[in-house]
């Protein structure tokens, strides 16, 4: 037995509404809309042309007298007009002035040549005025709105007709579908959706919804058997994705060190912990000496390898799970030493300095790579910013004193 012919309910409604609405409103509305559009467009273009012609003499004097501020004020006055969206002035000397919303530019500006003051011949600038489509359409909508009041009664009749048709052919069946969906629980998945339709109504979208519920119920029943396994798989995938996202947001991709963002968060935690338990906290600033020269003479690829080797050297020499290092920016690293006094931190920095130079020998034969270190220890009452600033000052002093050294000295 063949399936009933599909007849969309929207087509039935559109045909019914079209017979009533089109005959009454389409002809009048189309004529009125076309007339209003042309009338508003002509009036709008005339207003823009008058604005340009009125301001050309004033701009001519300002350009001739070389008064940029006066030019900008005049352009702002032009752009403030509701008909204008954006205005641009190009002087023959190459200067460009503009005002308004640049996003309103289009390929059909109104152009005006600006002659010298009192001279009909010659051009000292070009003025481009872009209309404001929003103002144009506001005026057009206002005009059409006034005209629409003339056939409001017709619109009301059409709305009543549409409401009747929707209530009869759409609202009642959909209410039954909504009621069925609201009552659908796990123990009712096997109960089919049944609708009382009038005989000979034809097969339409409502019937498709009923069939869709049937397919959905069958799919849910078959899916429940392995739902727990799928949930576990999705959870593992989500955790893996979150871990990858967290790593990308906290780890410097070149060196594998913590990045500046994580450093700014974690250093405050380290300081709070040191204050709470009255423990020492030291910070070391490190800067690779003459790194720009390395990039310029050996190439950026080798420069990246220098940074990677420096980070790896620091990780080898530091205490695992206690000390940590972050790439502060460019060739600069910052090393945090919890529970470390200033003398111990200075000794650590000096050890790092020597180890760094030795580890670079194999990477850059014939070229000595050194680094400067600035060390400081937190003192009571000092903020994170003050602690870092003192360490940075020590680093700056080490570089100023000839580089390849640690300050302060023991």
Kindly list the catalytic residues: 331
- Burial track 380-403 (b if 16+ CB lie within 10 A, e otherwise): eebeeeebbebbbebbeebbeeee
List strands edge to edge, sheet with 371-377.
324-329, 332-338, 281-288, 371-377, 406-407
Q: Give 69: exposed, middle or buried? Use CB within 10 Å, 0-12, 13-18, 19+.
A: exposed
Return the H-helix or E-strand segment holding 162: helix 152-166
Sequential DSSP letters for 257-315: SB-HHHHHHHHHHHHHHHHHHT--EEEEEEEETTHHHHHHHH-HHHHHHHHHHHHHHHH
Task: Estimate the crossing angle of helix 291-298 against helix 300-317, to 10 degrees.
Answer: 130
Among the listed residues 43, 59, 131, 52, the one whose alpha carbon sits nearest the alpha carbon of residue 95: 59
Residue 241, burial from CB neighbour count under 10 angstroms (0-12, 13-18, 19+): exposed
Residues paired with 258 in a beta bridge: 251, 326
Question: CA 335, 339, 345, 347 torsion: positive or negative?
Answer: negative
Measured between alpha carbons, how far is 340 from 281 in angstroms, rounded to an integer?
A: 6
- Residue 111, classed as helix, strand or coil, is strand
Closest CA to 123 of 47, 49, 63: 63
For residue 178, how many C-alpha atoms fall within 13 Å in the half-sphere facing its CB? 6
Q: Which two tokens stand for residue 211?
A: 């069939």
Give whole-number Cα distances, 171 to 8, 159, 406, in Å: 15, 15, 82
């Amino acid at each position: 037995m063949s399936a009933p012919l599909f007849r969309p309910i929207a087509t039935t409604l559109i045909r019914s509404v079209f017979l009533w609405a089109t005959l009454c409103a389409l002809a009048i509305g189309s004529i009125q809309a076309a007339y209003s559009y042309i009338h508003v467009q002509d009036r709008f273009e005339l207003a823009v042309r008058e604005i340009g012609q009125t301001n050309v003499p004033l701009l001519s004097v300002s350009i001739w007298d070389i008064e940029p501020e006066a030019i900008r004020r005049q352009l702002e006055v032009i752009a403030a007009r509701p008909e204008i969206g954006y205005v641009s002035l190009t002087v023959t000397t190459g200067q460009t002035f503009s005002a308004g919303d640049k996003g309103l530019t289009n390929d059909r500006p109104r152009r005006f040549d600006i002659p010298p003051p009192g001279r009909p011949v010659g051009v000292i600038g070009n003025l481009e005025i872009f209309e404001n489509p929003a103002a144009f359409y506001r005026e057009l909508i206002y005009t059409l709105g006034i005209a629409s009041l003339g056939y409001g009664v017709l619109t009301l009749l059409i709305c009543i007709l549409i409401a009747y048709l929707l209530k009869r052919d759409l609202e009642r069946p959909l209410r039954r579908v909504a009621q069925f969906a609201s009552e659908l629980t796990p123990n009712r998945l096997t109960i089919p959706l049944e609708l009382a339709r009038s005989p000979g109504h034809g097969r339409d979208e409502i019937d498709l919804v009923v069939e869709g519920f049937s397919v959905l119920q069958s799919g849910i029943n078959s899916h429940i058997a392995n739902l727990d396994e799928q949930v576990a798989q999705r959870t593992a995938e989500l955790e893996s994705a979150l871990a990858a996202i967290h790593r990308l947001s906290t780890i410097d991709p070149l060196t594998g060190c913590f990045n500046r963002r994580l450093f700014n968060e974690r250093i405050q935690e380290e300081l709070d912990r040191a204050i709470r338990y009255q423990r020492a906290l030291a910070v070391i600033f490190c800067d690779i000496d003459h790194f720009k020269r390395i990039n310029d003479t050996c190439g950026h690829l080798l420069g990246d390898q220098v940074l990677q080797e420096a980070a790896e050297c620091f990780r080898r020499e530091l205490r695992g799970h206690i000390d940590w290092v972050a790439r502060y920016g460019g060739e600069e690293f910052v090393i945090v030493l919890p529970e470390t006094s200033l003398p111990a931190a200075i000794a650590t920095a000096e050890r790092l300095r020597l180890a760094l130079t030795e580890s670079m020998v194999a990477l850059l034969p014939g070229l000595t790579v050194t680094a400067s270190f600035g060390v400081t220890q937190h003192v009571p009452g000092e903020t994170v910013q003050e602690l870092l600033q003192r360490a940075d000052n020590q680093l700056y002093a080490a570089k100023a004193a000839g580089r390849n050294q640690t300050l302060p000295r023991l």
